[in-house]
Amino acid sequence: MTPRQRLNPAVIANQVLPLLFVILYSSGYVASKIGIAYTDPFTFQTLRLATPVPLFLGIIFLTKAKWHNKPIEVFHICVTGILIHGFCFTGMLVAYEWGMDVGTVGLIMALHPALASVGAIAFLGERFSFKLILGLLLGTIGVLLVVNQKASFDSNSYSGVLLTVLCLLSMVAGVLYQKRFVAHMNLMTGSLIQHLSALIPVFGLMIAFETMTINWSASLIGSILWLGIVLSMGSWILFFILIRSADVSRSQSYFFLGPPTTVLLAWIFFDEQFGSYFLLSLSLIVAGILIVTKHTAPKVGENQKSEQGLTTGSAERVT
């Protein structure tokens, strides 16, 4: 890539947007951990999912965004909403309540790009590489080292680990499903449908199993607003742009920054200490994810096509 190409706004966007997404995404673990201290998980998630709904409606009205009028498209969008916003993020809140710390949840979820790459090869026909197997193996060993350090915790912690793994699989399934069936959904109306499709079952779980007691505080309100507005309307729209602009493996090539960012934030906000094997496990996870995601590094010509899709084609589909 020439210096002139590097200064191209589209190239800069393709480099900056993934980095910005990972920083915002990692902050979500911290905000969730803060908020869950003031209410139950289903109640908190109901508040978080409901917060951006009026904002989405306002933006849709002002921009005259197009609605998806095909029932099958709406169905596919609902499926992705339930998998990602419903099961994955709600499950992580329950895992926190069961004793999981922010760093461990972040490290387990860090295997997302590796597993998504495997799924993309199996179900979307993306390119295979033996490096992918090596990367997935390294990442898995790293996660097992982290989880092994939690052996002294109570049984709820083991349940929390299992639940977090299920959240990871739900995230992977949601990403692959969206890439396969609704990669070019309208970002505003599609995101609204996703939030509503997740809100309905989570609201039902709140009514059925929780007392809906809320200890209102500035910290709780701040975490709800951060998750409901900055993440739901910021980071996840960035994420969907990344999904549509490149193949699954390449679009998540910056996810390797998630684990160190999450652990650093957990240390700052919760004083979560690094375990004896932390640096080794973190190194293995980062190395594994780097190997997996870099095996699909695009050529210059492919970059140009992706840039055009990000700056022109995608914009046309949003409005």
Instruction: Give pLDDT tens digits for 227-281.
Output: 999 888 888 778 777 766 655 555 555 566 666 677 777 777 877 766 667 778 7
Q: Residue 307: its pLDDT value, please?
A: 40
Residue 213: inside a domain, yes or no? yes
Where does residue 287 rank: exposed (0-12), middle (13-18), buried (19+ CB within 10 A)?
middle
- DSSP state letter for 37: T
H-run or E-run covering 76: helix 71-81
Residue 32: inside a domain, yes or no? yes
243 token code pair: 């999904």
Residue 318: inside a domain, yes or no? no
pTM, full prediction: 0.78
- Percentage with pLDDT > 70 across the chain: 75
Range of the domain at 206: 14-312
Helix/strand/coil percentages in the chain, nearest 5: 80, 0, 20
In our burial notation (b when 16+ CB lie closer than 10 A, e otherwise), range 135-149 reads bbebbbebbebbbee
Residue 124: inside a domain, yes or no? yes
Residue 317: inside a domain, yes or no? no
Lowest-confidence region among 50-54, 66-70, 196-200, 241-245: 241-245
CA atoms within 13 A on the CB side of 260: 13
pLDDT in tens, 93-105: 999 998 888 878 8
In our burial notation (b when 16+ CB lie closer than 10 A, e otherwise), range 102-126 reads bbbbbbbbbbbbbbbbbbbbeeeeb
Q: Residue 104: its pLDDT value, please?
A: 80
Instruction: Report the C-alpha gap between 168 and 164 in whole angstroms.
Output: 6
Residue 8: inside a domain, yes or no? no
> Structurally, how many domains does the chain consist of?
1
Residue 7: inside a domain, yes or no? no
Residue 74: inside a domain, yes or no? yes
